């Protein structure tokens, strides 16, 4: 009986560790809570974010996007959650670009504030910011696109694992709107350690089930 309880406890703990490990993101080139720039590098688990750029701010927009210290990587789900503040007030607009390295297969986003909207495009090649085709993926490189408004259900798009992925966002607020935070997540393949832990937990549960049948 004691061995049974011990195996049950170990399997349960293993599954919890595999599914609930959150590792804070790290940052270089700026600090959390301050605007990103061309030298900023954010690392979240297996993913790296860089080449940040804010372009075409309009109607008094600051043209600055902050990355927040609440960003983290969930080893169980293989999701990197990065939170940004685009600092937009009523009827302002700006475009935001960055690159994601390490292999991602999903974009997912929620938008806070009020009367705000973000259109996000993921490409397998850099997105031009001027001239013909500005703000669009070069031909044949579109991976996915989503549009999400304030406090709507999360928008997401899946695609084959790709690295790097080039992200382009058109961020805007309407009359009386404002936007001080949106959360971006990127799906990856769970880390090998997490897969081993998850497999160990499932194996232990399988042994428990087999033992219970015999008894």
- The CA R_g of the chain, rounded to the nearest whole Å, is 21
For residue 114, is it within any domain? yes
Q: Which residue range forms the structural domain that includes residue 61?
A: 23-191
CA dihedral 24, 28, 29, 33 (to 10 degrees): 20
For residue 212, is it within any domain? no
Residue with tokens 């609440």: 70
For residue 50, is it within any domain? yes
For residue 14, is it within any domain? no
130: three-class secondary structure by DSSP: coil
Residue 37, token pair as written in the block: 């720039």
For residue 183, is it within any domain? yes
Q: Which residues of the chain have pLDDT under 50?
A: 4-19, 191-205, 207-208
213: three-class secondary structure by DSSP: helix
- pLDDT score for 57: 97
* CATH code of residue 37: 2.60.120
Closest CA to 145 of 165, 129, 115: 165
- pLDDT score for 188: 83
Domain total of the chain: 1
- pLDDT score for 2: 52
For residue 8, is it within any domain? no
H-run or E-run covering 164: none
For residue 42, is it within any domain? yes
For residue 137, is it within any domain? yes
The beta strand positions in 59-164, using DSSP E, are 66-67, 72-74, 79-85, 93-101, 104-111, 114-123, 142-149, 155-162
Distance CA 78, CA 33 (A): 24
Burial state string for 161-176 with b = 16 or more CB within 10 A and e = fewer than 16: ebebbbbbbbbbbeee
């Amino acid at each position: 009986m004691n061995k049974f309880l011990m195996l049950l406890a170990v399997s349960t703990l293993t599954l919890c560790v595999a599914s609930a490990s959150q590792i804070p993101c790290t940052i270089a080139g700026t600090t959390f809570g301050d605007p990103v720039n061309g030298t900023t590098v954010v690392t979240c688990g297996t993913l790296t974010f860089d080449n940040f750029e804010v372009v075409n701010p309009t109607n008094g927009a600051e043209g600055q996007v902050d990355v927040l210290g609440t960003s983290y990587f969930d080893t169980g789900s293989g999701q990197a959650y990065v939170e940004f503040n685009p600092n937009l007030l009523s009827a302002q607009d700006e475009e935001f670009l960055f690159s994601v390295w390490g292999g991602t297969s999903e974009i997912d986003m929620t938008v806070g504030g009020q009367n705000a909207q973000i259109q996000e495009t993921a490409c397998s090649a850099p997105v031009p910011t001027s001239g013909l085709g500005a703000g669009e993926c070069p031909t044949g490189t579109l991976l996915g696109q989503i549009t999400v408004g304030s406090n709507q259900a999360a928008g997401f798009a899946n695609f084959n694992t790709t690295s790097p992925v080039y992200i382009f966002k058109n961020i805007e607020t309407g009359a009386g709107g404002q936007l001080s935070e949106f959360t971006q997540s990127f799906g990856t393949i769970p880390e090998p350690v997490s897969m081993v832990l998850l497999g160990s937990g499932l194996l232990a549960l399988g042994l428990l089930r087999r033992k219970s049948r015999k008894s």
